[in-house]
């Protein structure tokens, strides 16, 4: 029997003072995206913003539906927008935030982690995640794939 330990490295920041101007703008954009959230069922608004390699920003927010599973998280709205509106442009970083007064920074769901892992794999460069908290603190994950060990890979579908 082998025991395998998986480590996740992240950094927690009490504010954004040490972040680059682009990263600060990205976090602001994620907050702005909250205003377009459509969350009448959960009342849990989520905003996401992606920084592309040319410096442009793509925003997304959660979009719910009366047929609950038809709704989509803010992260996937943003990633799929970037993938369809800016094909071929690398995603450098993603900021995610919520208006909900949680003690902890928002953390993407499993489905969003899977989607982010695949975009990262496709572009072959890391996507840095900035997970924002209501109190202004931010958790930084340098490589979005780290959030989903043993993610499912399209490699296995090619056989
Ligand atoms: N949600 C997101 O948009 N992103 C997350 O990281 C977690 C959850 C949304 C889905 C749903 O509209 C609402 O938050 C409550 O689950």
Nearest to 141 by CA among 113, 119, 121, 103: 113
Q: What is the pTM of this model?
A: 0.96
CATH number at residue 57: 3.40.140.10
Distance, in Å, from the CA atom of 13 to the CA atom of 42, rounded to the nearest integer, reads 28
**C-alpha 46 – ligand 1 centre gap (Å):** 6
Instruction: Give the DSSP H or E segment for 113.
Output: helix 110-123
The residue whose CA is least distant from atom 6 of ligand 1 is 108
Predicted local distance difference test score (pLDDT) of residue 140 = 97
Least confident of 13-22, 107-116, 150-159: 150-159
Residue numbers of the domain that contains 29: 11-149
Is 33 within a domain? yes
Is residue 75 annotated as a catalytic residue, yes or no? Answer: yes
Overall average pLDDT of the 50-68 stretch: 98
Is 39 within a domain? yes
Query: pLDDT confidence of 158, banded at 50, 70, 90?
Result: confident
Number of domains comprising the chain: 1
Does the beta carbon of 138 lie inside 6 Å of ligand 1? no
């Amino acid at each position: 029997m082998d025991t395998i330990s998986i480590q996740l490295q992240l950094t927690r920041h009490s504010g954004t003072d040490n972040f680059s101007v682009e990263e600060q703008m990205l976090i602001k954009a994620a907050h702005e995206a909250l205003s377009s959230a459509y969350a009448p069922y959960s009342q849990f608004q989520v905003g996401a913003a992606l920084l592309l390699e040319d410096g442009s920003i793509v925003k997304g927010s959660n979009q719910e539906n009366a047929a609950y599973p038809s709704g989509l998280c803010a992260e996937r709205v943003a990633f799929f927008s970037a993938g369809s509106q800016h094909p071929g442009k690398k995603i450098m970083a993603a900021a995610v935030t919520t208006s909900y007064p949680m003690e902890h920074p928002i953390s993407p769901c499993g489905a969003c982690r899977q989607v982010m892992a695949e975009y990262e794999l496709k572009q072959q460069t890391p996507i840095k995640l900035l997970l924002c908290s209501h109190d202004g603190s931010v958790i930084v994950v340098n490589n979005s794939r780290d959030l989903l060990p043993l993610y499912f890979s399209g490699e296995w579908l090619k056989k």
